[in-house]
Structure 1
Amino acid sequence: MTDYYEVLGVDRSASEDEIKKAYRKMSRKYHPDIAGPEFEDKFKEVNNAYEVLSDPKKRQMFDAGIDPNDPNAGAAGGGFNGGFADMGDIFNMFTGGAFGGATGGGPTPRTQPGRDALATATIDLKTAVFGDTTHVKINTFGLCQDCAGTGCQKGTQPTQCPDCHGQGYAQRVVRTMLGQMMTTAPCERCEGHGTIIEKPCPSCMGHGRIRVTRNVGVAVPAGVANNTRLRLANQGEVGENGGVAGDLYVDIRIKPDDTFTRDSDDLHCWIRIPMSWAVLGHEIEINTFDGKQTLDVPAGSQPDDTVTLKDLGVTHLDNKNERGDLVAHIMVEIPKKLSDDERDLIERFGELHDADAQHVSVNSRPASGSKKGFFSKLKDALR
């Protein structure tokens, strides 16, 4: 038999409020819309556990060693292995107190907690770097403003059910081979609530909530990573008759940026420069998320060399006072066509600079850490 206390993670002595709190926590954790469809069975198990433990009568049966969700739980014969003080407890369990025991479990509250909601927010890379507020639209249940969640027309309130007299359940006597026995079931007229809304609110039809579309502000923390899930407490679905709202979970998606790519908390960009700047060095100005910044290209820069600008990357999520770096990758542009004067100059330079470069070494792969020289690439291009 499933241990419903273990499913909800509560002690057998847990109060009604503790059980309700544990149920809300577990239902959020395993809701298929949040945890994924593979947790659907677990979500049903949590609901079954709450259905039993939130109902005093069913909980009493379960504590006595009988699973109320078992279709054979009420069958005569075996199954009463321990847990009853005496035979009177057995009769009271199935007769609703016909032999002097307790009566039904009381009316079911109209106010019920709302479910959680899930939304997606798409942000740009700059928002992830510094943090900001974005907004998501959700279509969910909100509090009915006309009745403030009561479900009744203005100036009215629920009245006691005349059939069950506010108890929420009805009893009837049946004849069995053991004699007369009394059974208990939710009152059909008030559906177990013990009260009747004679004049429902026309806006919500007595439910205390209506369908609404809300624009919810989401505080995006600086340094947030792609696919992060944020939780906004009590921003989800409002429960029946003004019940406490569930939570809103927001999945963060970061759009690709045209200039920068992200690697952990570092930003990377690629800068194309003419070969003369790579040879002689040059000071250039680039656009960053912090505005224009000066970048010094060292003389003799090679293709794929990098220049690092400290503290211009993504804010560290766990330390808002620190940031990653911005890494600029050098791309040297070698001209494919030269004028006669340009070719003469390059050839003259080659005679002066590469006079001893007469032997070409051929390897299956470059040596560790070695790169093909800039002017070797230039000569290859000119050939």
Structure 2
Amino acid sequence: MARDYYGILGVEQGADAAEIKRAYRRLARELHPDVNPDAAAQERFREVSAAYEVLTDPEKRRIVDLGGDPLDPRGGGGGAGGGDPFAGFGGFSDIMDAFFGGSAAGGRGRGPRSRVQPGADALIRMELTLEECASGVQRDLTVDTAVMCNQCQGSGCAEGTHPTACDTCGGSGEIQSVQRSFLGQVVTARPCPTCRGFGEVIPDPCRQCAGDGRVRSRRNVAVKIPAGVAEGMRVRLSGQGEVGAGGGPAGDLYVEVEEAPHEIFTRDGSDLHCTLPLPMTAAALGTTLPLTLLDGTVEEIGIDAGTQHGAVRTLRGKGMPRLRSTGRVDGYGDLLVHIEVAVPTKLDKEQTELLRELARLRGEEQPDLVGGSRNGHGLFSRLRDTWGGR
């Protein structure tokens, strides 16, 4: 069966060139041998590189879309119906080169790979209070990443020296081996072990970076967190990540938000919730209470007479900013105030007598849950009538 080159890169079949390139760069940063020396990762990197080469070649991609495999040595035009049987090798001349003196990788070696490699992304976490998440904040972060070596400017060479061609591979970055078969000789190529495929060696490495072209350094980076961020959101700082080997372009720095718990408010998306303890007498008689909001302003909360435990007052637009994908604020959520009626647990003699008198006036000295009260209706009967039961 033909290999799923789109699946190897993790893109859809209709992906454009830019999307394919982004997918390849993302995978290459994770799997490149300079970053991940694991054998399985290196094999996966070869698959990803082969898939990228195929999907960026219009003719090879056409073969893939027709159901074939352009790298299949049997021809690769499986679904093409009468296509070129040597399409996987780029033509009959490449077949002859592969069997009688060329490279097994399509008749042409890949040549030395660049010493300059893109850098990896970096991640740092930042804890913010709920107030800072609501208003946004700007901070200076101290990060420890690889930066370009200021002695060799990324070249890896000591001052006044330069890389030289590898004597083992002659600068090609590959070592070829020849095997004879009944068809002739088959030439295969592998990366040169001396120069690791670069085609050149550094005879006198920089003493500060040991030839890598980069060093670890601690530095300050200014980051601006927009209003409305939430737990787990990330702010990307382009080009502030790890500098690549050989002074390659730096990756990105991601700042991930960690939201600290608040002593009064809890968050649900762009809405805020809080609990307002209310004395039993205030719930019965009604009152007005001040509530300090997240931004420090004071809002007067009107409590109606007869407010019940568990009632919710909604203050529109007093919640968190709604953050759009563009980083702009698009309105505000609500603040939901949950009323918690507090029943007194300790009463003095006078307070007890007053409550007994209130109970007598309301006919509640001895609540009757089953039978009738003075008016012929028990508590369950009144609840049933209230909810429309029969």
Alignment CA distance shift 1:367-1:202 (3 Å): farther
Amino acid at match of 1:330: I
Amino acid at match of 1:306: V
Equivalent residue, structure 2, for 1:346: 355
Q: TM-score, normalised by structure 1?
A: 0.71
Equivalent residue, structure 2, for 1:35: none
Q: Does the residue aligned with 2:216 lie in a helix, a strand or coil?
A: strand
Equivalent residue, structure 2, for 1:47: 45
The 2-side partners of 1:368 and 1:210 are apart by 76
Q: Does 1:304 align with 2:301?
A: no
Equivalent residue, structure 1, for 2:208: 203
Alignment CA distance shift 1:155-1:285 (3 Å): farther
Equivalent residue, structure 1, for 2:151: 146
Amino acid at match of 2:378: V
The 1-side partners of 2:298 and 2:232 are apart by 30
The 2-side partners of 1:268 and 1:238 are apart by 44
The 1-side partners of 2:342 and 2:120 are apart by 58
TM-fit CA distance, 1:24: 0.9
Q: Does the residue aligned with 1:152 lie in a helix, a strand or coil?
A: coil
Q: Does 1:24 align with 2:25?
A: yes
The 1-side partners of 2:134 and 2:91 are apart by 69
The 2-side partners of 1:96 and 1:19 are apart by 34
The 1-side partners of 2:175 and 2:133 are apart by 59
User: Does the aligned pair in 1 maintain the 2:8–2:48 contact within 8 Å?
Assistant: no
Q: Does the residue aligned with 1:283 lie in a helix, a strand or coil?
A: strand
Query: Deviations along 1:230-261, whole A, 9 cap, x unmatched?
Result: 44433332211112223334443322211111
Counterparts of residues 1-383 of structure 1 (less than 5 Å):
1-4=2-5, 7-8=8-9, 9=11, 21-27=22-28, 47-52=45-50, 63-66=70-73, 82-83=86-87, 88-94=93-99, 97=102, 104-133=109-138, 139-171=144-176, 184-213=189-218, 216-300=221-305, 301-318=307-324, 320-354=329-363, 358=374, 359-362=377-380
Equivalent residue, structure 2, for 1:77: none
Amino acid at match of 2:73: I
**Structure 1 segments unaligned to the other structure (5+ residues):** 33-39, 68-79, 371-383
Query: Deviations along 1:186-240, whole A, 9 cap, x unmatched?
Result: 4444333222222211121111122344555544332233333444433332211
Q: TM-score, normalised by structure 2?
A: 0.69
Alignment CA distance shift 1:5-1:174 (3 Å): same
Q: Does the residue aligned with 2:96 lie in a helix, a strand or coil?
A: helix
The 1-side partners of 2:6 and 2:157 are apart by 36
Amino acid at match of 2:25: R
TM-fit CA distance, 1:125: 1.8
The 1-side partners of 2:385 and 2:125 are apart by 48
User: Does the aligned pair in 2 maintain the 1:96–1:103 contact within 8 Å?
Assistant: no
The 1-side partners of 2:90 and 2:303 are apart by 90
Q: How much identity, in percent, do the aligned residues show?
A: 36
Query: Deviations along 1:57-115, whole A, 9 cap, x unmatched?
Result: xx999845239xxxxxxxxxxxx9643577642231255549xx965322211011223
The 2-side partners of 1:355 and 1:212 are apart by 76
RMSD of Structure 2 on Structure 1 (CA):
4.4
TM-fit CA distance, 1:50: 3.5
The 2-side partners of 1:257 and 1:212 are apart by 35
The 2-side partners of 1:367 and 1:130 are apart by 49
The 1-side partners of 2:263 and 2:385 are apart by 34
Query: Deviations along 1:313-360, whole A, 9 cap, x unmatched?
Result: 111123625211222222233323333333333334344455896453
**Structure 2 segments unaligned to the other structure (5+ residues):** 32-37, 61-68, 75-83, 366-372
